[in-house]
Chains A and B, each alone.
Chain A
Amino acid sequence: MAQMNLLQAINNALITAMTDDEKVMVFGEDVGHFGGVFRATSNLQEKFGKGRCFNTPLTEQGIIGFANGLASQGSVPVAEIQFSDYIFPAFDQIVNETAKWRYRSGGQFTCGTLTIRTPYGGGIAGGLYHSQSPEAFFAHIPGMKVVIPRNPRQAKGLLLASIRDDNPVLFMEPKKLYRASVGDVPDTDYELPLGKADMVKEGTDITLLAWGAQVEIIEKAAAMAQEIGVSCEVIDLQSILPWDVETICGSVCKTGRLLINHEAPLTGGFASEIAATVQERCFLYLESPIARVCGLDTPFPLAHEKEYMPDHLKTFEAIKRTMDY
């Protein structure tokens, strides 16, 4: 066990995966000798050689197209997109190619070994193009898995599972927490299961659900709610696609109330999918409308970042409204 921040845990997971399997290759913009603009790939080129950790030209569609070919050949590519805001040039390669590769070929060929790592989320004064949370775009793509960790231990275990999963995984890293989140990370090679939510704190009055950096926001709101006598069950979804319907619905059937929080804009955000599914499955158990505390339906602003964010205070107010319904 060692104390690591989120970046060190990711670096540790990459070293673990590359040591374990020589087919694992890491590439993207500036990931080579320099070690990545966030240092997530530090020392990989020195340890594993230029053949397995290398810079690519500055082309996101190229990086993912290249990764698709490499994965279908039998290698294990871990491609980095420098900011998730810049993943859109590769959208065609991901939606039409990566995700459909196995289905369209009748299982003859797959891109299952591919993992795409990308920093996401606000809170770092990143403005429009260094703050986005595009998970909902990818949740609409059959064939993809989408995974988001919340702390160093989760990051290592989920990243190792993503690299070894036989399906393409988009692994989104909350960059606000890269250095801010520090915790114990096992030195061992371990995996955390994909498709499973994580029960952070049990409660009885309302279920609070979030993922990535927003988990600590709902934890904070839960602590405030505790002071006024509301017991919150806090869940980290961890996997956006496929998501853990059993855990969420089990919790809502117990508490009768649900609040979902995400940074991405409200309309078409993944909270909509969860809310619709939960109301279908838990209709007779719901005591109040499902609350969504999300980013505004605007581009992500710079000067008004604090106002834009679905913070603990907005969450706390929504908890009270839901409880009083």
Chain B
Amino acid sequence: MQDRNHLSDVQPTNSVCLIENGLIEIPMLQLLDENGHETNKEQSPEIDEATAKRIAATMQYIRLLDERMVGAQRQGRISFYLACTGEEASTVASAAALSSDDMIMSQYREQGALAYRGYTTEQFMNQMFSNELDPNKGRQMPIHYGDKTLNFMTISSPLGTQIPQAAGYAYGQKMSGKPALTICYFGEGAASEGDFHAGVNMAAVLNCPVIFFCRNNGYAISTPVEEQFKGDGIASRGIGYGVKTIRVDGNDVLAVFAATKKAREVALAHNCPVLIEAMTYRLAAHSTSDDPSGYRSKSEEEKWHAKDPVERFNKWLDGKGWFDKKATDAYLEKSRAEILAAVKKAEKVPVAYIDDIVEDVYDTPPWHLKKQLVELKAHIAKYPEHYPKTSGRVK
């Protein structure tokens, strides 16, 4: 057994001096300024025209989807919605820098990453309307998406739980020998959960190829970052765990893409985690159950509208000669019609059969679930008018 010396890297000092936050200042990578000009062409990532256009189209689509579905919730057509307005670049450009074999574990405001993977309007709707075509079988609240074929892990509401899970998933990927990793998205509020500490530390110690992607958008519901942490954001913590770390402008597609690309290369080459902190702003309300006017000013929001990630990227596209106003407008018009048609279609699809209520708790329902189902069905049969969603379709 080898002798260990855990003091080997520790330098003694004879000065009674407290080390303060701020000794290391973590800069923010920005490759595209607010006018859509590249700040350092040598560092700009290579993005081909098709990829650039797909990123732009996905961001525009998601903004449209968000607008329409917030509206649908206001009309009472769906129970809940959660927009990602302002954070489209963070989620779409990071997803664009991955391989489709990489697993995505998200928090809930990453519909952009899912859309980039190819989730269709119809799939979005079936989940949000909790109908029988919803892959979650109508069991979870709207926006809790998941798709096995797209390597997008089903979302759950408890915050931060996916952080140690992502470390474990990545460990399994490493052991299987396939060149794929896991990206794990979370907000700066979720990073205050114990699971953040657990997951990032485990990923570092157990050499897991995982990208921890923090969307620091300034607020956790009504709580501003000053009430969330005292340190230098989330990035400074990565360094404390021995994790390679970068802070990026989350409204800058080029910076997010370049950082994620680099993180992926490094994580796979060295079997290690990388932490990315994307600085952005939650232009949307937290959810349809929230009204931000109770805790922040219009003028603050307006400053961030000026940094709009979608507009900024369009300007860059325009500079490359890749922006076509007419084609963009036509695409938006087509998407708008598609979304409206999908809403109408999804809301007419019934919920799953009542038998489904006891499926998937276990691989097969044990005796007590079977018994409870029999009793429930007998009860529904007795009072069918009180259970209109299922009583007409009891198998």
Contact = CB atoms under 8 A, between A and B. Distances in A.
A246 B171 CA distance: 42
A136 B170 CA distance: 33
Contacts of B153: 72, 109
A272 to B, nearest CB: 15
B198 interface: yes
B172 A97 contact: no
A102 B147 CA distance: 13
A62 B171 contact: no
B366 A107 contact: no
A59 B193 CA distance: 13
A161 to B, nearest CB: 14
Interface in A55-80: 56-57, 59, 61-62, 64-75, 77
Interface stretch (B88-96, B108-116, B132-140, B276-284): B132-140
Interface size grouping (class) on chain B? 35 or more
| Size range of the chain A interface in the assembly | 35 or more
Nearest to B203: A66
Nearest to B137: A106
Contact of A167 (B170, B175, B363): B363
Interface in B129-180: 134-137, 139-140, 144, 146-148, 153-154, 156, 158, 161-173, 175-176
B205 interface: yes
B205 A57 contact: yes
Contacts of B148: 105, 108-109
Contacts of B144: 104
Interface string A88-111: 010011001100111111111110
Contact of B202 (A62, A72, A73, A166): A62
Nearest to A77: B168
Contact of B194 (A61, A67, A96, A100): A61
Contacts of A74: 172, 176
A108 B153 CA distance: 9
Contacts of A105: 135-136, 146, 148, 154
Interface in A20-72: 25, 51-52, 54, 56-57, 59, 61-62, 64-72
Given A62-B201, A65-B199, A105-B136, 10 more contacts: A57-B202, A62-B198, A64-B164, A70-B171, A73-B176, A77-B168, A92-B158, A106-B154, A108-B147, A109-B154
The 5 closest A-B pairs by CB, nearest first: A65-B164, A69-B168, A62-B198, A73-B172, A69-B165
